[in-house]
Chains A and B, each alone.
Chain A
Amino acid sequence: MIDAVLVAGTVLCAVRAIRATQLLSSALWLAGVSALASILLYRLGAPQIAVIELSVGAGLVTVLFVFAISIAGDDGLTEREFLPNWLALGLIALFAGLLGWMILPLEETGVAAAEATFESVLWSDRALDVLVQIVLIFSGVLCLVTLLKERHTSAQQQALAGREERERPSAAVSGNGHHPQAAVPDPSPAEVEEIHA
């Protein structure tokens, strides 16, 4: 029963995150999805992943979102959407319904008697995955460094071109832009530690 409540809460949070008009509340609903999903993971018997998901997904990523939204500002796009709402909803309902109809109800095959521990599976059987993860984190950091370097020069150009063009958003960037953005590349090493811990 408690599972049903948790699942309902997760999906509700997800829908609210999508339908929210303000970006900031959208990000907070996303944190809710993450937190509830990590409880579900724990109840499924995956405590390690639950911890990682809670700290990375609900903690770190939310912080990132809040920073990014505070820098980029909320556009409040209210123009007509590309697809009519009923078509999108219908398509999604068709998709989820078909998928559910095909896979549900699941039969539990029961727990295998002897499975290797999480650590040994991760470090020996999936060694290549860990390698790829390291490469991925590395390339992510490289990507960030490049992006932020570009931003720096373009900010300088804008400063040279004239300050009067934009008042609020660019002021927010030049005012506190360095601080939050300097924090952006940091999470990746921290995240490595969290995963390996």
Chain B
Amino acid sequence: MSALNWVTLGVLGLLGAGLYGLLITRNLIKVVIALQILVKGALLALVAAGQASGQINLGQSLAVTVIVADTVVAVVGLALAVQVKRLVGTLDVKALSNLRG
């Protein structure tokens, strides 16, 4: 098997691990971590797709955008988590569903 196929398998693994994390976790910071893992998978997939189609630099350019967006998500998500901890007193996402009306 070629490197490309191994990386594709890795992408599947990362996506699976990230989604699994989002399915079972209730800790807000853990949610951000699971999102990070998902995005790593997407990043690898973009570059791999660029490699497979012979447009590696296009893939890299798109990956830059992904990294920026991902970092902003992490920063804002963590700030939110800290804020939630301060105001609600817990990181449990279930505690945040009291907007239901």
Contacts and interface: CB of A to CB of B under 8 A. Distances in A.
Asked if chains A and B are in direct contact (CB within 8 A), the reply is yes
Interface string B29-61: 110111011001001100110111111111111
B29 to A, nearest CB: 6
Nearest to B17: A14
Nearest to B38: A14
Interface of B: 1-10, 12-21, 23-27, 29-30, 32-34, 36-37, 40, 43-44, 47-48, 50-65, 67-72, 74-76, 78-83, 85-87, 89-92, 94
Interface size class of A (residues with CB under 8 A): 35 or more
Contact of B8 (A103, A117, A121): A103
A115 B56 contact: yes
Contacts, number: 273
Contacts of A195: 64, 67-68
Nearest to A43: B3
Interface of A: 3-4, 6-7, 10-11, 14-15, 17-18, 23, 26-27, 30, 33-34, 37, 40-41, 43-46, 48-49, 52-53, 56-57, 60-61, 64-65, 67-69, 71-73, 75, 77, 79, 81-83, 85, 88-89, 91-93, 95-96, 99-100, 103-112, 115-118, 121-122, 125-126, 129, 132-133, 136-137, 139-140, 143-144, 147-148, 150-151, 154-155, 166, 169, 173, 181, 184, 187-188, 191, 195
